[in-house]
Amino acid sequence: MGNYVNPGNSGFTRIRKNVYVDKSGLIELINQTVDTTRCLTCVSRPRRFGKSFAAQMLSAYYDKTCDSAILFDDLAIAGDPQYRKYLNQYDVIYLDMTGVIGETSMTDMIPYIRRNVVRELTEQYPSLKVAEGFTATLANAAEAAGNKFIMIIDEWDAPIREAKGHPDLQRKYLEFLRSLFKNSGMTSKIFAAAYMTGILPIKKDGSQSAISDFWEYSMIKPGQFGKYVGFTADEVKQLCDDHDSDFKKMKQWYDGYSFRNLTSVYNPNSVMKALFNHDFDSYWTQTSAAESLIEYINLDFDELGRTIAELTGGMEAPVDTNSFANDLVTFRDRNDVLTLLIHLGYLAYDEETQKVHIPNEEIRLEFARAIRQVKRDDTIRRIRESDRLIENTVNRKEEAVAEQIEKIHEEEAPLYYNNEQALRSVIKRAYFSYGDEYLMFEELPAGSGYADIVYLPKKRSMLPILVVELKWNQSADGAIAQIKNRRYPEAVKGYGGEILLVGISYDRNAPAGKRKHQCRIEKYVKQS
């Protein structure tokens, strides 16, 4: 066993000794590609989404220098008719590109890989004829071994990310990959299958992928790999049952990613930390991804600041993902920034509507923290205005609240409402900084109906609960009456603390010059 050639199954053995969610169905998908025209697979997912776990699982399954049956016989893959056919039948080349970068310099990275892979191959096959070229040596090794290689590259894009200011180094790395996987004469002789995983999709060279023969499965188009990288709702529900954890809170904090035919995907790292720490919090802060968010939302593209404010307020935003160059430096417009945030896991993407939203409370908290460090004047202004609006609401300053919502309506929304949903959009824009103190719920089942918007204070907050009812073409007093008549506060009184009833209205039919927002705020008093 080596570090790069046939590393064995020790990594997956350690994984199996902990709480393990069975993702072995991924092996069946890769088995279906072995020695076919679909043998090159690239799966991209955000940090801490289980990518390395999957790579180590595949390595343990295919590596012919170990016996991994005990690790897989009790997993789902064991029920597949092809399970034994491929189990421990191949030489594996395993490259953890983050590890490689840690061992050598960026300029020596490719020679380092070549030296060490060839050295380990000659140790395992002493009669191996080392050719002048790396691919020719691999072809000779495949012939000597009597079978082709399974190649696994973890964090394939680490060199792209680390060398983001050095396009020459990026180009050399991509040329190295191209020599392995875009050589029609050699690739089919060397590899039975290849599996690459990372954060970014494969870097585009112009308008096309530099390694176009790979079948790619990303956060935008995950295909059949959607349920194998990330936790599904059923998996999280089982974990919560096994560990006596609150599934509803787990969903609120870490759910929100969705793929076609898979409407609920969770961040695995955050779920596991919440289980073992017995605490729902943002574990995203503990990753290097959090450091980059400020940099990206600080980019001065037209409408980006407004879009970020809308997203933080709970709204969706349209995005065109087609022009993204799959790197960290080539940004042409706001669409490229938003697309990157999808791949980084900061935004969830709906393939059908082609819109993005902040997926869950964990990420919303990170946005709330990040935007307060953004230096753009318009962002600072929006934060201050939203903070002041929340303060005025809590202090029951009705006229001030109405005036602020009026201002935001005039500046950032259509001048005319068509329905209460349009009014709701303005309210969410207005209160977008709520994430510091509140959790927001829309259409919350309450009493004998559904409350439009409810802001529940976080456990550390001393602020009151806000039950907000919106009325288009009706009075704010009517909104307050509906809250009382339908007993909306009954659903939230168990959270403790003061409850404020907030009615906001806009009368389109009022005389010209008097079409203004109205606000009524009352303290909830339980009826005896």
Residue 2 lies in a domain: no
DSSP 426: H
Helix (H) or strand (E) holding 362: helix 361-371
Residue 159 lies in a domain: yes
Looking at residue 182, which CATH number applies to its domain?
Answer: 3.40.50
Whether residues 176 and 270 share a domain: the answer is: no
Residue 391 lies in a domain: yes
Please say whether the beta carbons of 193 and 39 come within 8 A.
Answer: yes
Q: Label residue 515 by pLDDT band (50, 70, 90).
A: low
Q: For residue 70, what are its two tokens?
A: 């005990």
Distances (CA, A) of 74 to 1, 14, 55, 77, 382: 25, 16, 19, 8, 55
Please say whether the beta carbons of 280 and 262 come within 8 A.
Answer: no
416-439 pLDDT, tens digit per residue, is 666 777 888 888 888 988 888 888
Q: Label residue 252 by pLDDT band (50, 70, 90).
A: very high
3-class DSSP string for 80-148: CCCHHHHCCCEEEEEEEHHHHHHHCCCCCHHHHHHHHHHHHHHHHCCCCCCCCCHHHHHHHHHHHHCCC
Residue 319 lies in a domain: yes
| Tokens 């930390």 belong to residue | 273
What number is the average pLDDT over the span 280-299? 73
Which residue, 23, 16, 49, 15, is CA-closest to 265?
49
Whether residues 197 and 251 share a domain: the answer is: no
Whether residues 132 and 167 share a domain: the answer is: yes
What pLDDT is recorded for position 287?
53
Q: For residue 394, what are its two tokens?
A: 């809590």
Which residue, 393, 474, 483, is CA-closest to 446?
483
Q: Which residue has the higher pLDDT, 194 or 378?
A: 194
Side by side, which strands form the sheet with 149-154? 91-96, 149-154, 191-198, 40-44, 215-217
How many other CB atoms are found less than 10 A from the CB of residue 189? Answer: 15
Whether residues 150 and 250 share a domain: the answer is: no
Whether residues 311 and 267 share a domain: the answer is: yes
Would the CA dihedral through 389, 390, 391, 396 be positive or negative?
A: positive
Q: Does the structure show a pLDDT above 70 at 402?
A: yes
Residue 251 lies in a domain: yes
Provide the angle, in degrees to the nearest 10, between the axes of the packed helices 289-297 and 304-312: 130
Residue 128 lies in a domain: yes
What number is the average pLDDT over the span 311-330? 89
Which range among 49-58, 139-148, 202-211, 291-300 shows the weakest confidence by mean pLDDT?
A: 202-211
pTM over 0.85: yes
What pLDDT is recorded for position 510?
65
Average pLDDT value over all residues in the chain:
89
Distances (CA, A) of 479 to 392, 473, 488, 502: 19, 11, 11, 8
CA atoms of 394 and 110, how far apart (whole Å) = 60
What pLDDT is recorded for position 247?
96
Among 315, 347, 371, identify where a domain stops: 371
Q: Does the structure show a pLDDT above 80 at 414?
A: no
Whether residues 126 and 144 share a domain: the answer is: yes
What pLDDT is recorded for position 448?
79
What pLDDT is recorded for position 412?
67
Host domain of residue 103:
10-227
Please say whether the beta carbons of 372 and 383 come within 8 A.
Answer: yes
Which range among 4-13, 348-357, 472-481 shows the weakest confidence by mean pLDDT?
A: 472-481
Whether residues 123 and 60 share a domain: the answer is: yes
CA atoms of 67 and 4, how far apart (whole Å) = 18
Q: Does the structure show a pLDDT above 80 at 469?
A: yes
Number of folded domains that form the chain: 3
Percent of the chain with pLDDT over 90: 59
CA atoms of 149 and 35, how far apart (whole Å) = 10
Q: Label residue 182 by pLDDT band (50, 70, 90).
A: confident
Residue 367 lies in a domain: yes
Please say whether the beta carbons of 134 and 118 come within 8 A.
Answer: yes
Which residue, 466, 456, 477, is CA-closest to 501?
466
Whether residues 201 and 270 share a domain: the answer is: no
Among 177, 211, 227, identify where a domain stops: 227
Please say whether the beta carbons of 149 and 120 come within 8 A.
Answer: no
163-178 pLDDT, tens digit per residue, is 887 888 988 999 999 9
Among 322, 345, 371, identify where a domain stops: 371
Which range among 188-202, 234-248, 475-489, 495-509 shows the weakest confidence by mean pLDDT?
A: 495-509
CA atoms of 146 and 65, how far apart (whole Å) = 14
Whether residues 43 and 156 share a domain: the answer is: yes
CA atoms of 264 and 231, how far apart (whole Å) = 8
What pLDDT is recorded for position 210?
62
What number is the average pLDDT over the span 136-147? 92
Whether residues 437 and 403 share a domain: the answer is: yes
Provide the angle, in degrees to the nearest 10, between the axes of the packed helices 268-277 and 247-254: 140
Which residue, 381, 443, 435, is CA-closest to 408?
381
DSSP 511: P
Q: For residue 114, what are its two tokens?
A: 């070549």
Whether residues 220 and 334 share a domain: the answer is: no
Residue 3 lies in a domain: no
What number is the average pLDDT over the span 300-309? 80
CA atoms of 85 and 68, how far apart (whole Å) = 13
Whether residues 181 and 275 share a domain: the answer is: no
How many other CB atoms are found less than 10 A from the CB of residue 102? Answer: 9
